[in-house]
Each structure stands twice: as C-alpha cells, then as structure tokens.
Homo-oligomer: A and B are copies of this chain.
C-alpha cells in the first residue's frame, strides 16, 4: 500500500509538470498571437484553457481522494497540500496567458503592440518561457538552487515591466488610449505570470527545507516604481 501511495504522489507530480508545460505553451502562443496579430493562435490559447482547468480539477480530486483513502502523515501530507497550492498557481498562469490571447483577438487584425514596444513584449514572453520552464524543473526535481534562479528572472521581468511604462509616459506616445490600456494590462499579465511561477518555486522550497519564503508583494509596487522613476528624471 505504501508503494501504491508513493506512486500516486509521483503521478500527482507528473500532472503538475504536465500542467506547467501546458501553461508554458499557452503563454508562448499568446505572445506570438499578440505580436503577430495571429487570430488562429489566439483562439487556440483561449479554447485550450479549458484543458488546463480540467487538469486542475482532476489533480484536486485525486489529491483529496488520496488524502481520504491513505490518511497520510505529516511529510506526505505536506506534499499533497503543496500540490494543491501549486495547481492553483498554474491554473492562474493559464488564465493570464488566456488574457493576453484575448487582447490579441480583440485587436485583430491589428497588433496590440506598437513597433517601439515589440522588443520589450518579445523579451517579456521569453523571460516568461524561461521562468515557467524552471518552475517545471523545480517541481520535477525539487532543485532548491534552481528555485533561487527564478527570482533573478523575475527581477528581469519587473525591469521589462517598468520599461513599458517608460514608453507609455513619453510625450510622443501616438498610439492612442486603447493601445495604452492594452499595454498596461498585458504588462500586468506577464508580471503576474512570472510572480506565480516564482510562487510555485517557493512552495517547493518550503516543502524541501521547511522554511517558508513569502512572495514579495511588489506586483503593483513595481508599477509605482516605474512611474516614479519616470517622474524623477
């Protein structure tokens, strides 16, 4: 029974890694859809989010089922509870990719990204890929050192996020209010996506070390910092 139990835990971990791959692919496609105004790609992300939601539901049910049948003790219990929290982060990351794809779809056949911001959004998409790939590795390998790396990637994301505001607040912004709103929201989506990936890594670190790391609550603060930086020029 013990053996079967550990196989179930291992299967839960596999599902989390699978979900990580799904939300990585979703954000990758959403970014391309946004930059290239690719409607079909945007639609694929939007309709594909259901698979992420279903997988989340399945993981949750299996986790509760294992808890009910096996009444696991402290360490194993912590693994299951951590899985439940990671699955929430991953599901939310899927939603954020969906939101980016919705912006792409709404602005089709135009691209929501003005030329001077293409490079920044492209890079935000790339950092998102790097960070979600590492989050997947951390889930699979429980590699605490790699978990620390995600924080550095997240700093890069925050810096790119600030760059968006720098451009938006330039006097010669000529793309109108709708584009400004879209960029503001997409910036927030990428930044939150990265935050959730960091949160996933932190939860694994907590599992391994028993020492909690709390996610910095700088989501909006970063934005403030961005605009603040502009003002003091």
Chain A residues in contact with chain B, CB under 8 A? 49, 53, 57, 60, 64, 67-68, 71, 73-74, 77-78, 81, 84-85, 88, 95-96, 98-100, 102-103, 105-106, 165, 168-169, 173, 177-178, 180-181, 184-185, 188-189, 212, 214, 217, 219-221, 223-224, 227-228
Contacts and interface: CB of A to CB of B under 8 A. Distances in A.
Contact of A180 (B64, B180, B223): B180
Contacts of A78: 64
**Nearest 9 pairs between A and B by C-beta?**
A99-B220, A68-B74, A95-B217, A184-B184, A102-B224, A106-B224, A181-B184, A102-B220, A67-B77
A185 B185 CA distance: 7
Contact of A53 (B68, B217, B227, B228): B217
13 contacts: A49-B217, A53-B214, A64-B78, A67-B74, A71-B73, A96-B220, A102-B220, A106-B224, A106-B228, A168-B177, A169-B177, A169-B178, A189-B220
Contacts of A220: 95-96, 98-100, 102-103, 185, 189
A224 B151 CA distance: 31
Given A169-B178, A184-B184, A184-B185, 4 more contacts: A64-B81, A85-B85, A85-B88, A102-B224
Contacts of A95: 217, 219-220
A46 B143 CA distance: 34
Contacts of A224: 102-103, 105-106
Given A64-B78, A168-B177, A185-B188, A106 B227 contact: yes
Q: How many copies does the complex hold?
A: 2
A203 to B, nearest CB: 10
B178 A227 contact: yes
A3 B15 CA distance: 38
Contacts of A223: 99, 181, 185
A19 B5 CA distance: 36
Nearest to A182: B227
A67 B99 CA distance: 37
A219 B106 CA distance: 15
